[in-house]
């Protein structure tokens, strides 16, 4: 089903470089997963996603369960075949989207009733249905159905979410039907270290093949996110992959890798790409800016991505001003390559724990100012 091996560890720290083996191939960790919400990474062909260096991508249970429907995907041979991606896939549980996108009707210990963002119909989602949908989609890694409260939730709300998340995790284990899919548990608990620790301990008793940290990067300050990770992550089993959901920016990824996280997902490469925002090692560029009008150079000097090999900033700016699809397509591809390049450098430097070199090569990963909040989200 799933094997995880740590290849190298940071000498005096928590970072690890490993290999996660799934039925659809290997994942080099720390890994960044591009988002294919509706069974497509927006504006990018699957071959181009692979060429960027991505070993795995994430698709969303909430969206696919509604359209085209998990039964149809199963009938058509499962998600890998449906979307033309024969490498590993992870599906989330739908929980995050229910709480962030849908018009919520009712949350009880039995699950969540919400109105579809597509047609307003009432839909019920619970551990059993989340497992059924994810079993039908057929991803290599699937996620337990959790309750993800808002980032600024008080202790009582966060505590109740932990209770439900643990109970639901246990139910997910029972309802999960396919031995070729690895089910990960999700640690909730907001910014409350003791709740996080309790949640982790109870999930570890259930013995999941991997553990995710949910409910971070949802509006809390950067420092608080890092503090939770530093406290929590070392208490998760060292021999299991650890996944920080919905994160994030390069600075977040660097901090989380140093805390011992192995997997990430975020919409930033493609969402920013569609909005004419390119990532580079030294910062981001807004391509619509007049300053790029005459610049006959690539988005990022030395970048081997197919957008930088052939097209100038001036051309890409023209495409965005003319509302041409190729603009979002080019910058999305560049950003996917950028994030994978960033992860590869992290993997390279973990054996030396050489974060000074990492920051010298990627100044964009420097810590944000104290009052800056996080923007990573789990779907686009």
**Which residues are part of the catalytic machinery?**
92, 265
Measured from the CB atom, the residue of 76 and 356 that comes closer to a copy of itself is 76
Closest approach, Cβ 40 to a copy of itself, in A, equals 4
Closest approach, Cβ 317 to a copy of itself, in A, equals 8
For residue 366, the tally of other CB atoms under 10 A from its CB is 12
Measured from the CB atom, the residue of 309 and 371 that comes closer to a copy of itself is 309
The residues that bridge with 108 in the sheet, in sequence order, are: 111
Closest approach, Cβ 78 to a copy of itself, in A, equals 11
The reply to whether 67 sits near a copy of itself by the rule CB under 8 A is yes
Task: Give the separation between CA 264 and CA 243, rounded to whole angstroms.
Answer: 6
Closest approach, Cβ 325 to a copy of itself, in A, equals 4
* Per-residue binding letters, 191-210, with a copy of itself (x by CB under 8 A): --------------------
Strand, coil or helix: 354: coil
Measured from the CB atom, the residue of 194 and 297 that comes closer to a copy of itself is 297
Residues 5-64 that bind a copy of itself (CB under 8 A): 38-40, 42-47, 63
Measured from the CB atom, the residue of 35 and 195 that comes closer to a copy of itself is 35
Exposed/middle/buried for 122, CB within 10 Å: 0-12, 13-18, 19+?
exposed
Closest approach, Cβ 88 to a copy of itself, in A, equals 17
Measured from the CB atom, the residue of 199 and 329 that comes closer to a copy of itself is 329
The reply to whether 160 sits near a copy of itself by the rule CB under 8 A is no
Among 1, 204, 206, 326, binds a copy of itself (CB under 8 A): 326
Nearest Cα to 328, choosing from 279, 270, 268?
270
Task: Give the separation between CA 61 and CA 167, rounded to whole angstroms.
Answer: 20
Measured from the CB atom, the residue of 103 and 324 that comes closer to a copy of itself is 324
Kindly state the number of chain residues that form the binding site for a copy of itself, as judged by CB under 8 A. Answer: 37
Strands (E), 192-271: 211-213, 242-244, 263-265
| Only segment of 79-87, 108-116, 202-210, 275-283 that touches a copy of itself (CB under 8 A) | 79-87
Task: Give the separation between CA 77 and CA 63, rounded to whole angstroms.
Answer: 18
Per the CB < 8 A criterion, the answer to whether 242 and 212 are in contact is yes
Q: Which residues of 252-266 are buried (b: 16+ CB within 10 A; e: fewer)?
A: bbbbbbbbbbbbbbb
The reply to whether 375 sits near a copy of itself by the rule CB under 8 A is no
Per the CB < 8 A criterion, the answer to whether 340 and 374 are in contact is no
Measured from the CB atom, the residue of 100 and 312 that comes closer to a copy of itself is 312
* Per-residue binding letters, 110-139, with a copy of itself (x by CB under 8 A): ------------------------------
Task: Give the separation between CA 305 and CA 52, rounded to whole angstroms.
Answer: 7
Task: Tell me the torsion sign for CA atoms 99, 102, 104, 106.
Answer: negative
The residues that bridge with 273 in the sheet, in sequence order, are: none
Measured from the CB atom, the residue of 260 and 298 that comes closer to a copy of itself is 298
* Per-residue binding letters, 296-325, with a copy of itself (x by CB under 8 A): x---------x---xxx-xx--xx-xx-xx
Query: Which two three-digit tokens encode residue 292?
Result: 């790029």
Among 8, 50, 53, 68, binds a copy of itself (CB under 8 A): 68
Among 94, 185, 328, 376, binds a copy of itself (CB under 8 A): 328
The reply to whether 329 sits near a copy of itself by the rule CB under 8 A is yes
Task: Give the separation between CA 231 and CA 190, rounded to whole angstroms.
Answer: 13
DSSP secondary structure string, 266-309? -SHHHHHHHTTEEEETTEEEETTSGGGTT--S-SSTT--SHHHH
Query: Which two three-digit tokens encode residue 199?
Result: 């949640």
Closest approach, Cβ 136 to a copy of itself, in A, equals 15
Strand, coil or helix: 138: coil
Task: Give the separation between CA 287 and CA 294, rounded to whole angstroms.
Answer: 12
The reply to whether 331 sits near a copy of itself by the rule CB under 8 A is no
Q: Which residues bind a copy of itself (CB under 8 A)?
A: 38-40, 42-47, 63, 67-68, 72, 75-77, 82-84, 293-294, 296, 306, 310-312, 314-315, 318-319, 321-322, 324-326, 328-329
């Amino acid at each position: 089903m799933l094997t995880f091996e740590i290849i190298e560890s940071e000498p005096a720290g928590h970072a690890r470089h490993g290999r996660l083996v799934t039925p659809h191939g290997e994942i080099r960790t720390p890994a960044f997963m591009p988002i294919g919400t509706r069974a497509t990474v927006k504006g990018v062909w699957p071959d181009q996603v692979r060429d960027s260096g991505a070993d795995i991508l994430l698709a969303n249970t909430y969206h696919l369960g509604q359209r085209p429907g998990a039964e149809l995907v199963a009938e058509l041979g499962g998600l890998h075949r449906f979307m033309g991606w024969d490498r590993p896939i992870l599906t989330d549980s739908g929980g995050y989207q229910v709480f962030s996108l849908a018009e919520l009707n009712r949350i009880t210990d039995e699950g969540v009733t919400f109105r579809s963002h597509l047609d307003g119909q009432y839909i019920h989602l619970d551990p059993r249905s989340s497992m059924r949908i994810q079993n039908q989609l057929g991803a290599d890694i699937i996620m337990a159905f959790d309750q993800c409260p808002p980032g600024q939730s008080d202790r009582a709300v966060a505590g109740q979410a932990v209770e439900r998340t643990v109970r639901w995790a246990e139910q997910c284990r029972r309802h999960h039907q396919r031995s070729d899919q690895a089910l990960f548990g999700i640690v909730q608990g907001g910014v409350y270290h003791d709740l996080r620790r309790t949640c982790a301990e109870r999930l570890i008793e259930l013995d999941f093949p991997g553990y995710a940290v949910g409910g971070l990067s949802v509006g809390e300050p950067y420092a608080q996110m890092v503090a939770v990770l530093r406290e929590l992550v070392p208490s998760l089993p060292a021999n299991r992959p650890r996944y920080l959901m919905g994160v994030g920016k390069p600075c977040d990824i660097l901090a989380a890798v140093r805390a011992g996280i192995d997997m990430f997902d975020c919409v930033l490469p493609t969402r920013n790409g569609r909005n004419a925002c390119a990532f580079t090692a030294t910062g981001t560029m807004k391509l619509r800016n007049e300053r790029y009008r005459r610049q006959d150079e690539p988005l990022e000097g030395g970048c081997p991505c197919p957008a930088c090999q052939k097209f100038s900033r001036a051309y890409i700016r023209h495409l965005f001003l003319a509302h041409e699809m190729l603009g979002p397509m080019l910058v999305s591809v560049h950003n996917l390559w950028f994030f994978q390049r960033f992860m590869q450098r992290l993997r390279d430097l973990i054996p030396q724990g050489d974060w000074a070199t990492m920051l010298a090569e990627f100044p964009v990963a420097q810590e944000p100012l104290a009052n800056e909040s996080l923007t990573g989200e789990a779907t686009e």
